[in-house]
A and B are shown apart, each in its own frame.
Chain A
Amino acid sequence: MAENSCELFDSGHRACGGCGAALVSRLLLKATGKDVIIVSATGCMEVFSTPYPETAWKVPWIHSLFENNSAVASGIEAALKKQGRKEKVVAIGGDGSTFDIGMLCLSGAFERGHDFTYICYDNEAYMNTGIQRSGATPYDASTTTSPAGKCSKGNNRPKKDLPQILAAHGAPYVATASIAYPSDVVKKIEKALNTPGPCYVQIHAPCCTGWGFEGEKTLAIGKLAIETGLWVNFEMENGVVTRVKKVVRKPVESYLKEQKRFRHLFKPKINAEEIAKIQAIADKNAEKYGTDLKLKSKSGPVVP
């Protein structure tokens, strides 16, 4: 049996095989090391990692509610500061926790300027209670509360732009990342930890169970989200976008058709009108962040 004692996140957790969020937990602790206090809201990550009394976390960890995740982190940060202690404080929550239910305290903590890092692992719905839509669910995704059918094409609202909302609070560092690029995730979390003030990292964490794909494809699906422009990896420092992952874009179908949550756009027949709307979302992302890589023509300039 291999010894995995150098890992701060223990094997034996109960996430589905191929879970993107489980990889987020591991990468998070790689970035923080052991001098950290983790505050975790309810959700898949909390449930699969801490069936009491068997926790996967080998660092101090506290469970909060959805509503007060950032308030608990704020209190810990203030107490550590008073005692002159140097541990980092990290709050982590799913998208439902972050975009919807915990938004009030998250906004308050950022406005007060606490020195902590907030991580959202974004699997784009309330997964642990059976795939209900959240403010992070993408347009047209079928969930149990936005089911596709005769009268519905799935979730009828676009994804909330939370990174921009938190940047507007004056956050010194806001970044998006994807488990498809693990070293980038670690780098961005480290940067957030080392930037004084409230920092935010939103990590795309594909969910095989909720999105409907085979667990082995978790990273591949994450890559496709970026390659189609439906997810953008960027960094914002003091409200200014300073780094963006550029791509040679693929049509959005290549991402959508791999997932059951978008199956209704292809079966029983292709819904070109809806796919065009999703393509427009990707086009807008690409334009807003300047993600398109211009390929240099090998044959030299084309003479008209």
Chain B
Amino acid sequence: MALGIGCSSRPGKAGNNKTGSWRVFKPIFDHDKCTKCGMCKTICPEGCIEESEDDFFIPDETYCKGCGICAEECPSDAITMEQEEK
């Protein structure tokens, strides 16, 4: 990959590392219960929850490690963790 002067690395290439493969449990978002408060997006340590076009929140499976913080903290209990079959 291209490096900068003095072999400095280019900003923000961590995304090459697809941490979604670490996941055992996967967050399932129930949009009927979601109040669109945005808490899950704020607290996800991966920064991998995004707003979709209809303002709902969705996790990016490429990076979601399945830690379960979003499910634990969602004030509307709109997220459940399910074991993933791979």
A residues near B (Cβ < 8 Å) are 1-4, 7-15, 17-20, 22-23, 26, 49-61, 179, 182-183, 214-220
Q: In the bound complex, what is the Cα–Cα distance between A3 and B49 (angstroms)? A: 9
Q: A11-B48, A53-B9 are in contact. Are A17 and B65 (CB under 8 A)?
A: yes
- Taking Cβ atoms with an 8 Å cutoff, the residues of B that contact A are 1, 3, 7, 9-19, 22-23, 42-43, 45-50, 52, 58-60, 62-63, 65-69, 71-73, 81
- A219 near B69 (CB under 8 angstroms)? yes
Complex partner residue of A216 from B1, B46, B68, CB under 8 angstroms? B68
A2-B60, A7-B47, A11-B19 known; A18-B67 Cβ under 8 A: yes
List chain A residues, Cβ under 8 A from B63: 11-12
Residue of B nearest to A214 (CB): B68
Whether A4 and B50, one on each chain, are in contact in the complex, defined by CB atoms closer than 8 angstroms, is: yes
Interface of A, helix, strand, loop or mixed by DSSP: loop
Measured CA separation A275–B2 after assembly (Å): 55
Q: Which of A10, A11, A54, A59 has the most CB of B within 10 A?
A: A11
Is A23 within 8 A of B45, CB to CB? yes
In the bound complex, do residue B48 and residue A2 qualify as a contact, i.e. CB atoms below 8 Å apart? yes
Q: How far is the CB of A290 from chain B (nearest CB, A)?
A: 28
Residues of B within 8 A of A15 (CB): 45
